[in-house]
Structure 1
Amino acid sequence: MDLKIEIKSEIGKLKVVLLKQPGKEIENITPVTMHGLLFDDIPYLPEAQKEHEEFAAILRQNGTHVLYLDDLMTDILKNKTIKSNFLEEIITASGFADNLTHTALKTYLNSLEPRKMITELMAGIRKGLLGDELRNLRSFPEVDDNPFIMAPMPNLYFTRDLAAIIGKGASISKMTFRARQRETLFIEYILKQHPFFAQDKIPYWHQRNSQTRIEGGDVLVLNEHVVAVGISQRTSAEAIEALADKLFKNNSGYDTVIALKIPCNHAMMHLDTVFTMVNYDQFTVYPDIMQKNQEMDIWVLHPADAGIEYLKYSSLERVLKDTLQLDELDLIYTGAGDEIAAPREQWNDGSNTLTIAPGEVVTYNRNYISNDLLRKHGIKVHEISSSELSRGRGGPRCMSLPLLREKI
């Protein structure tokens, strides 16, 4: 099967998506390690998997072809050369470059079949798995009492953060926190090595080894020539300028980048946790991203002879009307803007809606005030169970990396 990547909106009918079901890596979070792994709680894996299966089922029922990260990586690693190269990169990215620990890890992992190898890498490699292969200072608990020689990657079920497809190209993320920096190797190998995509000459607007940091959850493709990017806890202003420069100079079709400054904190880690597009002229918004008089710090970037032209805005409504050429706009506030319901439902990703067609979204069922308001505004809402998935602080949009949408 040949698959092309192309995303020219947030709302076109979702045709192909990349998911990762939570696995053993979730059970390898402990109270001691959870904050370092960017979790506030430990999800119950069996229930989280049921909820994720429900999510995937709703996508399939609505015409979306679901691909899984694990499956694609397993396909790639059947090639022994690719497998060896991948192991070199991920072991080095884990902090072990050309030493005894590196050798022990590669010997053990290379002995595994591709599926088992990927599963164990994601779950984390415990020292006991290496047996006699690990005989150096690292193996002594007095030196290192962490049972994991390679840490688990529990955030992988938030595939959105790994990359952003913009037009026919890809922006591979450079993650801010060490706990997530290895994850983007998976999407890099998939796009560059998997037969589904390798025949396609994909332009890259950002690479995982770039100097600037950007994460996919901060990128919203609003239409065929406008991209919005959050200046956030995890995406730098320099990354947005570099992305804009790349888009403007490489026939991407994109001539407008909206940079929106949002609070830099864990509760609002990405733009898509506080702002998403659900229809041609309808958006979900967490009201606390706005200051007095509903003002925000927003810049619109356009190409110019001298490089980039900057236009300053203070109104989210105004900038969306101007850049998307809209006469009317419907901003739907998280938790109906209530001072208690809004922050509660925002914490559980009430604004992190995944649009699967114009005016049709997938949300968590726990955000019932936001969901009811969406319906009152004419949006078709598919709810999924969310007692455990939501503990990772990411909603349906965070858990999905769209690869192909219909044009609108």
Structure 2
Amino acid sequence: MLPVNNDFKLDVTSEIGNLKALLVHSPDSGLGKVVPSKAQDWLFEDIVHLETMRRKEYDYYIKLLMYFLDPDKIKGKLSEIDSAASDRAFFKPDNAGFHNSDKVIEIQTLLSDILQQVDIRKKLVASVCAIENCTYRLQLQLIDTDPVELAKIFISGSLNDDTMIFAPIPNLIFTRDIGIAINNFMLLNKPAKKARSRETLLVRYIFFNHPLFAAYRDNILEIPDTVQHFLRPGEEQEQKTTLEGGDVMMVSPQHLLIGCSERTSISGANEAIKLLFANNVVNKVTVVKIPHKRDYMHIDTVFTQVKRNTWVMLKSLSITEPAQSEHEPINWFADKKDKDKPEIVQFENGQKPHTFDTLEELLIDISKNDLGCAGDVKFIYSGNNEFPFDAREQWTDSCNLLALKDGVVLGYDRNNKTVEAFKKNGFKVLNVKSVLQKLENDELDPTTMKDTLILMPSAELSRARGGFHCMSMPLTREAI
């Protein structure tokens, strides 16, 4: 079980305050069973090699998080952890060597905890079996399954990692999408794709039933469908009420961004705004409508915040005209200019909506007026704004960075041109392997690090089309 943490607070007021607690999900066996013909049905771009993803990529992520958030669990033990057998893996709750941190919180642990309660176990088994069309006998079998094993089955879809009884939910590694902490409230998602319905159900049960969140149950917001939605014809995205966490950013204590994208609809944004204003969660919401393309998916694949006065972003979506390579012929009749230009509308409680012409204009306004930056606001562009590297590196999450603190961020090692752009903007660039060793040897201090991009291995993780911003749900950040 997760250790009792009496100091836990649900409190996120920015994208860049010192990260103190977050929710993650380490790659489970279900990811290793995605087949090519079903990959896109399950929202993956490709199949992955599970052990490489786990041992040579995600493992570094967890270790780095532990040095910053829960150092007592790892400091002085790195050599022992690195030499441990696979059944003692540090990152996975099935294993004997699991860290079980109450700051780097594994969603599978929370699920195991609530399944210890017989009434919760019966209800959740019935709910999962209903949406997965299981037999009644299987339902009875699952009710009698050990809670720790049952949590694993619900996530991986497999009995004993062998017999599959329902589809995996590989997107659960992207914990950002299942909800978003806004001040001391939690906004739960409404996914756009059926492939994510089971993970949404599991997360709903966790937040409403786990003791960790007991003090915040009245602060959990669920987005309803619009009235009589079931009578509306058609299945178009614009008509459905959908919202995913990758389209929601808490940029300052009273200001939230919501993206309308391939995965979040206008209806979803509208319902979220109503809930947030009615509950006095924030007083300002900006809606950023981006093209409904797989290239972009969520707004956090297009831009994320690096520090108070610095953002990383895809330049071609930030300007009013499309990028034009000197090697690319001009098409005077192309309609890309209007089609790909984001539409940005800001709603402030009790005031008339306000529009912004470009993403840069919006982000400058946030840095200056919400966060009090006196100097210039900087932009680091995907691929160093060079065609075709801008689009290639955005595809492999050059804009999807997680800030551990103001100015210290994690990104993939494969985006070389974007790395060049960070260096040009005064950032140190360090490889995670060397960072871990220096943290272990007291050659680096997380509390004094600044203006640093930490590069993480990415051969398998990047196949899933999500970076470290996607793979994190911050629960607590210090105020900035």
What is the TM-score normalised by the length of structure 2? 0.75
Aligned-residue offset at 1:377: 1.9
Matching residue of 1:279: 307
Distance of aligned partners of 1:208 and 1:44 in 2 relative to their CA distance in 1, 3 Å threshold: farther
Matches within 5 A, 1:202-217: 202-207=218-223, 212-217=241-246
Among 275, 290, 306, which residue is 1:262 paired with? 290
Aligned-residue offset at 1:125: 4.5
CA contact (8 A) 1:18 1:69 kept: yes
Matching residue of 1:350: 398
Matching residue of 2:236: none
Instruction: Establish whether residue 92 from structure 1 lines up as the match of residue 130 from structure 2.
Output: yes
Among 36, 56, 65, which residue is 1:59 paired with? 65
CA contact (8 A) 1:191 1:197 kept: yes
Which residue identity lines up with residue 53 of structure 2 in the other structure? Answer: A
Instruction: Establish whether residue 107 from structure 1 lines up as the match of residue 140 from structure 2.
Output: yes
Which residue identity lines up with residue 226 of structure 1 in the other structure? Answer: H
Aligned-residue offset at 1:291: 5.1
Q: Which blocks of at least 5 consecutive residues in structure 2 are unaligned?
A: 71-102, 230-240, 323-340, 427-450
Matching residue of 1:18: 23
Q: Which secondary structure does the structure 1 equivalent of 2:453 belong to?
A: strand
Aligned-residue offset at 1:223: 0.5
Aligned-residue offset at 1:288: 2.7
The worse-fitting range, judged by mean Cα deviation, of 74-83 and 192-201 is 192-201
Give the percent of matched residue pairs that are identical in Structure 1 and Structure 2. Answer: 30
Aligned-residue offset at 1:389: 0.9
Among 340, 349, 357, which residue is 2:388 paired with? 340
Aligned-residue offset at 1:200: 3.1
Among 363, 379, 387, which residue is 1:320 paired with? 363
Q: Over residues 308-340 of structure 1, what are the superposed CA-to-partner deviations in whole Å (9 max), with x where a residue is unaligned?
A: 732122122222333441553211111111111
Aligned-residue offset at 1:385: 0.9
Q: Which blocks of at least 5 consecutive residues in structure 1 are unaligned?
A: 131-147
CA contact (8 A) 1:350 1:363 kept: yes
CA contact (8 A) 1:365 1:383 kept: yes
Aligned-residue offset at 1:372: 3.1
Aligned-residue offset at 1:129: 8.1
Matching residue of 2:261: 232
Distance of aligned partners of 1:129 and 1:157 in 2 relative to their CA distance in 1, 3 Å threshold: closer
Matching residue of 1:40: 45
CA contact (8 A) 1:184 1:208 kept: no
Task: Report the Cα distance in structure 1 between the residues aligned to 2:380 and 2:308, rounded to whole angstroms.
Answer: 13
Among 380, 396, 399, which residue is 2:468 paired with? 396
Matching residue of 1:133: none
The worse-fitting range, judged by mean Cα deviation, of 277-286 and 210-219 is 210-219
CA contact (8 A) 1:8 1:405 kept: yes
Which residue identity lines up with residue 364 of structure 1 in the other structure? Answer: Y
Matching residue of 1:298: 344
Matching residue of 1:68: 106
More strand by proportion, 1 or 2? 1
Task: Report the Cα distance in structure 1 between the residues aligned to 2:408 and 2:264, rounded to whole angstroms.
Answer: 28
The worse-fitting range, judged by mean Cα deviation, of 286-295 and 237-246 is 286-295
CA contact (8 A) 1:13 1:405 kept: yes
Q: Over residues 187-216 of structure 1, what are the superposed CA-to-partner deviations in whole Å (9 max), with x where a residue is unaligned?
A: 222221111112334413334778721000
Task: Report the Cα distance in structure 1 between the residues aligned to 2:284 and 2:308, rounded to whole angstroms.
Answer: 17
Matching residue of 2:188: 172
Q: Over residues 246-288 of structure 1, what are the superposed CA-to-partner deviations in whole Å (9 max), with x where a residue is unaligned?
A: 2222121x11111111121112111101110111111111123
Distance of aligned partners of 1:363 and 1:195 in 2 relative to their CA distance in 1, 3 Å threshold: same
CA contact (8 A) 1:40 1:392 kept: yes
Which residue identity lines up with residue 71 of structure 1 in the other structure? Answer: T
Among 198, 201, 205, which residue is 1:189 paired with? 205
The worse-fitting range, judged by mean Cα deviation, of 366-375 and 232-241 is 366-375
Task: Report the Cα distance in structure 2 between the residues aligned to 1:79 and 1:284, rounded to whole angstroms.
Answer: 44
Q: Which secondary structure does the structure 2 equivalent of 1:407 belong to?
A: coil
Q: Which secondary structure does the structure 1 equivalent of 2:342 belong to?
A: strand
Number of aligned pairs? 381
Q: Which secondary structure does the structure 1 equivalent of 2:204 belong to?
A: helix
Distance of aligned partners of 1:61 and 1:375 in 2 relative to their CA distance in 1, 3 Å threshold: farther
Distance of aligned partners of 1:91 and 1:375 in 2 relative to their CA distance in 1, 3 Å threshold: farther
Task: Report the Cα distance in structure 2 between the residues aligned to 1:291 and 1:12, rounded to whole angstroms.
Answer: 28
Matching residue of 2:94: none
The worse-fitting range, judged by mean Cα deviation, of 194-203 and 351-360 is 194-203
Q: Over residues 350-398 of structure 1, what are the superposed CA-to-partner deviations in whole Å (9 max), with x where a residue is unaligned?
A: 1000011001101111112212322332331111111111111101111
Matches within 5 A, 1:109-124: 109-124=142-157
Q: Which secondary structure does the structure 2 equivalent of 1:229 belong to?
A: strand
Matching residue of 1:199: 215
Task: Report the Cα distance in structure 2 between the residues aligned to 1:25 and 1:323, rounded to whole angstroms.
Answer: 40
C-alpha RMSD of the superposition: 2.1
Task: Report the Cα distance in structure 2 between the residues aligned to 1:121 and 1:82, rounded to whole angstroms.
Answer: 14
Q: Which secondary structure does the structure 1 equivalent of 2:180 belong to?
A: strand
Matching residue of 1:366: 414
Matching residue of 2:329: none
Task: Report the Cα distance in structure 1 between the residues aligned to 2:196 and 2:11, rounded to whole angstroms.
Answer: 25
Task: Report the Cα distance in structure 2 between the residues aligned to 1:371 and 1:57, rounded to whole angstroms.
Answer: 22
Among 28, 35, 39, which residue is 1:30 paired with? 35
Matching residue of 1:243: 272
Which residue identity lines up with residue 353 of structure 2 in the other structure? Answer: Y
Matching residue of 1:140: none
